[in-house]
Amino acid sequence: MKDERSSTQEELSDLLVEERHFEPPEEFKALAYLRTGEIREKSWEDPEDFWGNAAKGLHWFKPWDRVLEWEPPNAKWFVGGKINACYNCCDRHIKAGQRNKAALIWEGEPGDSRVMTYWDLYREVNQFANALKSLGVKKGDRVAIYLPMIPEAVVSMLACARIGAIHSVVFGGFSAESLRDRINDAGAKVLITADGGYRRGQIIPLKHDADYAVKETPSIEHVVIVRRGDFPLRVKAGRDHWYHRLIQEAASYCEPEQCDSEDILYILYTSGTTGKPKGIVHTTGGYLVGTYTTTKHIFDLHHDDVFWCTADVGWVTGHSYLVYGPLAAGATCVMYEGAPDWPDRDRFWAIIEKYGVSIFYTAPTAIRAFMKWGDKWPDQHDLSTLRLLGSVGEPINPEAWMWYHEHIGRASCPIVDTWWQTETGMIMISTLPGVDRMKPGSAGPPVSGVRVALYNSQGQEVKTGGGLLAITYPWPAMLRGIWGDPERYQEQYWSKWENIYFAADGAKRSEDGYFTLLGRVDDVLNIAGHRIGTMEVESALVDHPAVAESAAVGIKHEIKGQAIVAFVTLKEGHKFSTEVEADLKEHVVQKIGPIARPERIVFSADLPKTRSGKIMRRLLRDIGEGKILGDTTTLADATIVERLKQQYEEQEDA
């Protein structure tokens, strides 16, 4: 425990001390692609030089004239260069003798599977690119993709990229209304969907929802339907087309468009936790260089690796580290359609064993679920092919990190905790697996070519301790704007400090330059004038042997301003009692001090999360303050908050 040296002047308190650390295993280091931090050191001095060199690993039809043109808040990377993302993900590998290498190893939820070599992928992408052209899709047109996790999702994205069309992938778990709004905002001309997809043994009727959506999307001219199962649907003559027919009829080669480096590659909508979805715009050259380079450096990708990023293609993680990064690097990628607990809670471990996955990249929300389900599920499987683990999406609590390290990594795999955002396009903060010491819960230093710092609201740099996370120099995969809303782009990201990107996350920096993420700035707790990141309180709770997951929120309090209420999910086999509650409060005091003692602990079987698995603390705050619940449309399961509300009141009475 540390004395409360945090003062009200500080932007964010730095309370939790984590002493554990791990060096990269020697066997890993010996074969690692990067074994020293030398290149990275130099890159921080001269990012443009670093990125200029990195870009040479890709195929350019015409080289760039200048690496960077920066007129804040607008950046252009590889100015004057001509490139095609699909060419770099397919043709380049065929030409380099990799045609028979597996590009995608796909497994459906019911257990069916399909392997696509680079040649198979190349052939199908070419055919589908021609099919899109035959439907009138031209360079710069928008194409909406609303598909399950099936290979055709990847083919569709690459086919768009091949002809210079802009894809907008909408997560298959979103409703008809969300799909409609995203199609309308982008003005998409074609929608690619499927008859359905599998999730926990159920069929998600995508085409059915798509039919609802396109009733109110005047821009849609054609709908393409992939046949995943043999699920019932209506086909509207003239508008709807079967994917397999289009492919059969299409010519086998489609000349790739020579895109300008700054041509838009895709739009991806992100709602954050509130408000109207923003269409984040990514362009071609810089994005590809950023994702390709980070895939190689951070995941230490080797020729024979089997890389599994569990994210859905509907999220940026799926775009950058299931599709563009690894395919540009010529990797073999695993793709899985369904739920981690179907038909049993060992599905992920069974997949790793079956395909010999060597690099596994997933989210803390999943790791905490595995922890909650218990060790017996991974323990049943041979996970010895794994050599590197990754985490992304939320801060990973040190205890969850330790569990991941011991039970999945068998204490012999480095873990990369990668911080980034839909807006950043690529990983921005992470250790290098063959170079850096790992500290559970801390993401590490910025990656090569990226400059990160902490600032307070006055714009002064915070060297050690807590502050607001800022990116102080442009990076190649950065967003180029919000589709149709330049003011919001300026306002949201570039107005806090001059020419510096505001990430809206709190973090602390230690003397060795490691960044530890503390949670979203909107969620920060303010207890008697001390600003405390949600992550520290939550990690202190998850540190307790009974706790699997927790969410801390600040609720109005007459004296302290705010009091902490912690929502807690227990591990299997543990039960709620007033003793456990008292014990947990004491545990937090022990770990971080009396300032962080929760006023109340609320036990709950689930926590409200977004569809991508992020805890929605705003709703928990509303529950705690007895408010009418705010916008719940971004929730994965809206019934959870109603149940929680009831529980909250019942436990209060008890």
Question: Could you tell me which of 92, 74, 61, 67 has the C-alpha nearest to residue 259?
Answer: 61
Of 78 and 315, the one with the shorter C-beta distance to ligand WT7 is 315
Q: Which stretch binds ligand WT7 (CB under 6 A): 44-52, 86-94, 299-307, 313-321?
A: 313-321
Told to check if 520 binds ligand WT7 by CB under 6 A, we report yes
Q: Where are any strands of DSSP class E within 514-603?
A: 515-520, 525-527, 530-532, 547-557, 561-570, 600-603
Tell me how far, at minimum, the Cβ of 418 lies from ligand WT7, in Å.
Answer: 5
User: Smallest distance, Å, CB 599 to ligand WT7?
Assistant: 25
Query: Where does residue 127 rank: exposed (0-12), middle (13-18), buried (19+ CB within 10 A)?
Result: buried
Nearest CA to 240 out of 205, 204, 191 is that of 191
Q: How far apart are CA 320 and CA 322, in angstroms?
A: 6
Pick one of 337, 346, 505, 523: the residue that binds ligand WT7 (CB under 6 A): 505
Question: Residue 404 has what DSSP assignment?
Answer: I
Is residue 527 at the binding interface for ligand WT7, with CB under 6 A as the rule? Answer: no
DSSP 406-429: IIISTT-S-EEE-B--TTT-S--B
Spatial separation of the C-alpha atoms in residues 23 and 31, rounded to whole Å: 15
Pick the closer one to ligand WT7 by CB: 321 or 603. 321
SS3 397: coil
316 makes contact with ligand WT7 (CB under 6 A)? yes
Q: Which of 358, 431, 612, 634 binds ligand WT7 (CB under 6 A)?
A: 612
Q: If residue 103 lies in a helix (H) or strand (E), which one and from where to where?
A: strand 102-107
Structure tokens at 433: 């697996």
| Least distance to ligand WT7, CB of residue 417, Å | 5
- The verdict on whether omega for the bond into residue 73 sits within 30 degrees of 0, i.e. cis, is yes
Q: Which is nearer to ligand WT7, 130 or 365 (CB)?
A: 365
Of the pair 256, 506, the CB lying nearest ligand WT7 is at 506
Q: Does 362 bind ligand WT7 (CB under 6 A)?
A: no
- Can you tell me which of 77, 308, 419, 603 binds ligand WT7, judged by CB under 6 A? 419
- Pick the piece of the chain touching ligand WT7 (CB under 6 A) from 39-47, 124-132, 412-420, 453-461: 412-420
Report, in Å, the least distance between residue 285 CB and ligand WT7: 21
* Least Cβ distance, residue 408 to ligand WT7 (angstroms): 17
Token representation of residue 301: 């990708």
In the sheet with 547-557, reading across from the earlier edge strand, the strands are 547-557, 561-570, 600-603
Nearest Cα to Cα of residue 323 among 90, 100, 96, 140: 90
CB of 272 to ligand WT7, least distance (A): 7
Closest to ligand WT7 by CB, 247 vs 267, is 267
Contacts of 567 (CB under 8 A, 6+ apart): 550, 551, 552, 553, 601, 602, 603, 604, 607, 620, 644
Comparison of 88 and 431: residue with beta carbon closer to ligand WT7: 431
Position 14 contacts ligand WT7 (CB under 6 A)? no
Which range binds ligand WT7 by CB under 6 A, 24-32, 35-43, 201-209, 389-397? 389-397
Name residue, tokens 């990249």: 361
Given 84, 291, 418, 562, the residue binding ligand WT7 (CB under 6 A) = 418
Asked whether position 489 contacts ligand WT7 by CB under 6 A, the answer is no
Q: Which of residues 205-244 bind ligand WT7 (CB under 6 A)?
A: none
Q: Given the rule CB under 6 A, which of 224-232, 296-304, 349-357, 391-399 is the region that contacts ligand WT7? A: 391-399
In terms of residues, how long is the chain?
Answer: 654
| Burial group, residue 339, by CB count within 10 angstroms (0-12, 13-18, 19+) | middle
| DSSP, residue by residue, 537-548 | HHHHHHTSTTEE
Residue whose C-alpha is closest to residue 324's, from 285, 283, 288: 288
For residue 9, give every residue at least 6 positions away whose Cβ sits within 8 Å of its Cβ, in sequence order, or none.
Answer: none
CA-CA distance, 593 to 526, in Å (whole number)?
15
> Among the candidate windows 13-21, 37-45, 353-361, 392-400, which touches ligand WT7 by CB under 6 A?
392-400
The DSSP call for residue 181 is H
- Shortest distance in whole angstroms from residue 425 CB to ligand WT7: 9
Asked if 421 is part of the footprint of ligand WT7 (rule: CB under 6 A), the reply reads: yes
| 420 touching ligand WT7, by CB under 6 A | yes
Contact indicator for 292, 286 with CB cutoff of 8 Å: no
Is 417 among the residues that bind ligand WT7 (CB under 6 A)?
A: yes
534 in contact with ligand WT7 (CB under 6 A) = no
How far the first Cα of the chain sits from its last, in Å, is 32
Instruction: Using the minimum distance from each CB to ligand WT7, give the nearer residue, 423 or 581.
Output: 423
Q: What is the 3-state secondary structure (H, E, C) of 106-173?
A: EECCCCCEEEEEHHHHHHHHHHHHHHHHHCCCCCCCEEEEECCCCHHHHHHHHHHHHHCCEEEECCCC
Here's the x/- map for ligand WT7, 262-291, by CB under 6 A: it reads as: --------x---------------------
Binder of ligand WT7 out of 197, 390, 393, 433 (CB under 6 A): 393
Q: Binding residues for ligand WT7, how many (CB under 6 A)?
A: 20
From 165-173, 418-426, 562-570, 572-580, span contacting ligand WT7 (CB under 6 A): 418-426
Task: Say which residues have a Cβ less than 8 Å from residue 595's Cβ, sequence separation at least 6.
Answer: 4, 13, 15, 527, 528, 530, 532
Q: Which of 284, 317, 562, 634 binds ligand WT7 (CB under 6 A)?
A: 317
Q: Name the β-bridge partners of 190.
A: 143, 222
- Could you identify the residue written with the tokens 């060790």? 375
Query: Is the CB of 77 or the CB of 361 nearer to ligand WT7?
Result: 361
Q: What is the smallest separation between the CB atom of 388 and ligand WT7, expressed in angstroms? A: 15
Per-residue contact flags (x/-) with ligand WT7 for residues 430 to 469, judged by CB under 6 A: -------------x--------------------------
β-bridge partners, 75: 70
Task: Candidates 27-35, 44-52, 296-304, 415-423: pick the segment binding ligand WT7 (CB under 6 A).
Answer: 415-423
| Least separation in angstroms between CB 430 and ligand WT7 | 8
135-194 residues in contact with ligand WT7 (CB under 6 A) are none
CB atoms within 10 A of CB 126: 25
Is residue 523 involved in binding ligand WT7 (CB under 6 A)?
Answer: no
Question: Contact 64/81 with Cβ under 8 angstroms?
Answer: yes
Min dist CB 74 to ligand WT7, Å, is: 21
Stretch that binds ligand WT7, among 20-28, 47-55, 255-263, 310-318 (CB under 6 A): 310-318
Neighbours of 488 (CB within 10 A): 15
- What is the binding site for ligand WT7 (CB under 6 A)? 270, 315-317, 392-395, 417-422, 443, 503, 505, 517, 520, 612
